[in-house]
């Protein structure tokens, strides 16, 4: 990032297996809780016994009835997360034009990530066609991957650039990173950036199982099936959720007296160019993305205080990331704490980079590093300083967050403490 334009986070929102809101998510993570349990839909249990689901989510409690009828679950999750982020940033999230006071609607952008979009609606339509020749007139608008971004734009009258990134598990990280270019180029003053995903459908779960990505066996305690870095891990556990950040140009944020959580200083992207689903075994692409993120932030490996790992609990993926970390950080890695929150949240795919960014920003805010849960026996190549089971108190200045996806897609973000955060809290 060669421009000196500075980008800060002024609002955050999330919907996760721990419930509605960033604080519910963060409290669950710090308590070492698990959002993983037996999957609630008996029809889906033939493909996966466990999942990290959002229980008791009632979109009608937050959204108009017609909007609920016209949207897929992944869009509903995104809308609720965006609502919290907008309100958290000091705007009126109940207004149809919340940004009108401090910036015209065309000075606000939307950058969302989603690996698949509204597959629940799409699959429901396909099933209906087995007994009928007609489907809902909303089937396309509900299922297209950019439906969440479009719904946010319409609900809040946002007329700036709106993009949706479908780079598998790196989608949200890429959405946040690519949004930084709009801000640095002066196209917008603010961007709602994040991800949303809900893939609890037969075709997706059956496909991921066939690809060998999902855990289909594990400990007797089902809540422990997602086990990043553990030598006995057997695969990822599917999760669902949404997370949205309000990214803002620093001077714009200062002018309106916004609270500031952290600064986005680095972004790196790459591709493994290796395999449709498997990562490069030596982590070549992952290492390249991390190196690019550090370079764009103007940092050296020893400047990083904490790494939030992608680590999905797949044998190949965790090992490749570990090797990439060892290559990039070298001997310094022994002194850098590393953890993955996916033992608690499962893998939210297109949301992962956004919710993990929330965890990184909260770590900076609270000086608490989130733990890796359910890792009883770290494998031989795992990072040497894994944060296991309980959070660690530590002052945090700079963190690096990894996201790697099918198709070799890689996105890495660097978040830093802002001096304006300290001013806000003094």
Q: What backbone phi and psi angles, to 5 degrees, belong to 162? A: -135, 120
pLDDT at residue 324, rounded to an integer: 98
Least confident of 96-105, 227-236, 286-295: 96-105
> Binning pLDDT at 50, 70 and 90, where does residue 102 land?
low
- Give the start-to-end residue ranges of the domains of the chain: 8-255, 266-424
CB 266 within 8 A of CB 260: no
Between 175 and 1, the higher pLDDT residue: 175
pLDDT at residue 1, rounded to an integer: 40
CB 345 within 8 A of CB 17: yes
pLDDT at residue 101, rounded to an integer: 58
Q: What is the mean pLDDT of residues 86-104?
A: 87
CB 267 within 8 A of CB 411: yes
pLDDT in tens, 367-409: 999 999 999 999 999 999 999 999 999 999 999 999 999 999 9
CB 193 within 8 A of CB 179: yes
Pair type for strands 338-339 and 306-308: parallel
CATH topology of domain 266-424: Peroxisomal Thiolase; Chain A, domain 1 (3.40.47)
pLDDT at 167 over 50: yes
Interatomic CA distance for residues 111 and 147, integer angstroms: 12
Which residue's structure tokens are 């099933």? Answer: 127
Q: What is the mean pLDDT of residues 39-62?
A: 95
Averaged pLDDT of the chain:
95
CB 147 within 8 A of CB 71: yes
Residues 6+ apart with CB under 8 A from 291: 268, 328
> Which percentage of the chain shows pLDDT scores above 70?
97
> Binning pLDDT at 50, 70 and 90, where does residue 421 land?
low
Gyration radius (Cα) of the chain, Å: 20
Domains 8-255 and 266-424 share a fold: yes
> Binning pLDDT at 50, 70 and 90, where does residue 136 land?
confident
pLDDT at residue 176, rounded to an integer: 98
What pairs with residue 400 in β-bridges? 307, 414
pLDDT at residue 2, rounded to an integer: 42
pLDDT at 426 over 50: no
Which CATH superfamily hosts domain 8-255? Thiolase/Chalcone synthase (3.40.47.10)
pLDDT in tens, 343-364: 999 999 999 999 999 999 999 9
pLDDT at 422 over 60: no
HEC assignment per residue over the chain: CCCCCCEEEEEEEEEECCEECHHHHHHHHHCCCCCCEECCCCCCCCCCCEEECCCCCCHHHCCCHHHHHCCCHHHHHHHHHHHHHHHHCCCCCCCCCCCCCCCCHHHEEEEEECCCCCHHHHHHHHHHCCCCCCCCCCHHHHHCCCHHHHHHHHHHCCCCCEEEECCHHHHHHHHHHHHHHHHHCCCCCEEEEEEEECCCCHHHHHHHHHCCCECCCCCCCHHHCCCCCECCCCCECEECEEEEEEEEEHHHHHHCCCCCCEEEEEEEEEECCCCCCCCCCCCHHHHHHHHHHHHHHCCCHHHCCEEECCCCCCHHHHHHHHHHHHHHHHHHHHHCCEECCHHHHCECHHHHHHHHHHHHHHHHHHCEECCECCCCCECCCCCCCECECCCEECCCCEEEEEEEEHHHEEEEEEEECCHHHHHHCC
| Residue numbers annotated as active site | 169, 310, 347
Query: Tokens in use for 307?
Result: 């790494």
pLDDT at residue 135, rounded to an integer: 87
> Binning pLDDT at 50, 70 and 90, where does residue 424 land?
low
Interhelix angle 171-184/352-366, nearest 10 degrees: 70
Which letter, b or e, does each residue of 164-199 get, where b requires 16 or more Cβ atoms within 10 Å of its Cβ? bbbbbbbbbbbbbbbbbebbbeeebbbbbbbbbbbb
């Amino acid at each position: 990032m060669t421009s000196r334009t500075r980008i800060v986070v002024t609002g955050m929102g999330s919907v996760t297996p721990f419930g509605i809101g960033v604080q519910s998510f963060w409290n669950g993570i710090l308590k070492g809780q698990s959002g993983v349990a037996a999957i609630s839909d008996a029809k889906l249990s033939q493909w996966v016994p466990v999942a990290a689901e959002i229980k008791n989510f009632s979109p009608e409690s937050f959204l108009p009835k017609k909007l609920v009828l016209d949207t897929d679950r992944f869009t509903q999750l995104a809308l609720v997360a965006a609502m919290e982020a907008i309100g958290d940033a000091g705007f009126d999230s109940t207004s149809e034009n919340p940004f009108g006071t401090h910036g015209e609607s065309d000075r606000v952008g939307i950058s969302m990530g989603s690996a698949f979009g509204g597959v629940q609606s799409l699959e429901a339509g396909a099933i209906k066609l087995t007994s009928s020749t007609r489907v809902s007139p909303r089937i396309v608008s509900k299922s297209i991957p950019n439906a969440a971004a479009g719904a946010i734009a319409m609900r809040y009258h946002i007329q700036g650039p709106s993009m949706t990134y479908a780079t598998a598990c790196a989608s949200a990280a890429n959405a946040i990173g690519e949004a930084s270019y709009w801000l640095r180029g002066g196209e917008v003053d603010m961007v709602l950036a994040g991800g949303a995903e809900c893939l609890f459908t037969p075709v997706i779960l059956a496909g991921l199982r066939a690809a060998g990505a999902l855990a289909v066996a594990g400990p007797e305690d089902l809540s422990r099936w997602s086990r990043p870095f553990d030598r006995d891990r057997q695969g990822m556990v599917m999760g669902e959720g949404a997370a949205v950040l309000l990214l803002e140009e620093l001077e714009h944020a200062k002018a309106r007296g916004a609270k500031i959580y952290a600064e986005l200083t680095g972004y790196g992207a790459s591709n493994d160019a290796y395999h449709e689903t498997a990562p490069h075994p030596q982590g070549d692409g992952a290492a390249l993305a991390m190196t690019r993120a550090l370079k764009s932030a103007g940092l050296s490996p020893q400047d990083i205080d904490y790494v939030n790992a992608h680590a999905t609990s797949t044998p190949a993926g965790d090992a490749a990331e570990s090797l990439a970390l060892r290559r990039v950080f070298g001997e310094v890695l022994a002194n850098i704490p590393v953890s993955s929150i996916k033992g608690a949240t499962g893998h939210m795919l297109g949301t992962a980079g956004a919710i993990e960014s929330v965890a990184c920003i909260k770590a900076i805010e609270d000086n608490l590093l989130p733990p890796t849960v359910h890792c009883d026996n770290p494998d031989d190549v795992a990072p040497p300083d894994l944060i296991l089971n309980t959070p660690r108190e530590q002052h945090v200045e700079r963190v690096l967050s990894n996201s790697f996806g099918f198709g070799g897609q890689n996105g890495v973000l660097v978040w830093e403490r802002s001096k304006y955060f300290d001013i806000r809290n003094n």
